[in-house]
Amino acid sequence: MIKMLLDNQILASAETIKEIGGGTEIADGQVIDLLDGYPWTVIETPGHCPGMVSLVSEMGILSADNVTMVGTILVPSKDGSMTRYLGSLERLKALKPRLLFPSHGPVCASPDRLLGRTINHRKQRHERILKVIQSGVHSLAEITLEAYQDSPNAPVALSRDQALSHINGLIEQRLVVESDGGYHALSQ
């Protein structure tokens, strides 16, 4: 569908190609030519979606859906991974890019600050959700209400899905388990 609309070659990770049904596979570490005079290196940056990649050159990073200057990036609980997302953000930050070119919003001339702020925000939310669960709150609805008190205008369904994405990350980290219809901390 995308190829038909744009009449362009689609470059994507193997995982994304399976999802969209075609394209040319690119992989972590591969250098590609976008015909702009710069070599671009593919780096896998999963989290927002499983097969996401970013492209790195001396110009900066085409950062896909990892960060934005406007709004927030959703990490869907169904196929996203908050743990992998945080790892991807850390990986991008470690590259110390001059510029970020996100998929949404303007170019970012302060990548270190934006990436740092995004990482800190997500880690604080992650910790807040763990503390809510450790306090004895077990249902997703109640965890969401407690953990997102600072975002009263956020759509409930999106907040709930983001809370679940964080919980899934806490389960991956073996800090939380799902049992008896709720979520329980493994340690205090």
| pLDDT for 139 beyond 80 | yes
Taking Cα atoms as reference points, which of 75, 37, 101 lies closest to residue 165? 75
Full residue range of the structural domain in which residue 32 is found: 2-185
CATH code for the domain in which residue 64 is found: 3.60.15.10
The tokens describing 146, both together, are 């407690």
What pLDDT sits at residue 188?
A: 66
> Percentage of the chain surpassing pLDDT 90?
72
What pLDDT sits at residue 40?
A: 96
Banded pLDDT at 49 (limits 50, 70, 90):
confident
Number of domains in the chain: 1
The stretch 29-43 carries a mean pLDDT of 94
What pLDDT sits at residue 72?
A: 84
* DSSP string over 28-72: TT-EEE-SSSSEEEEEE--SSSTT-EEEEETTEEEEETS--SSS-
What pLDDT sits at residue 3?
A: 52
The stretch 58-77 carries a mean pLDDT of 90
| pLDDT for 1 beyond 50 | no
| pLDDT for 4 beyond 70 | no
From 8-12, 95-99, 183-187, the region with the lowest mean pLDDT: 8-12
CA distance 61 to 94: 12
pTM comes to 0.88
Q: What is the pLDDT of residues 19-29, one digit of tens each?
A: 888 888 999 99
Contact 123, 86 (CB under 8 A): yes
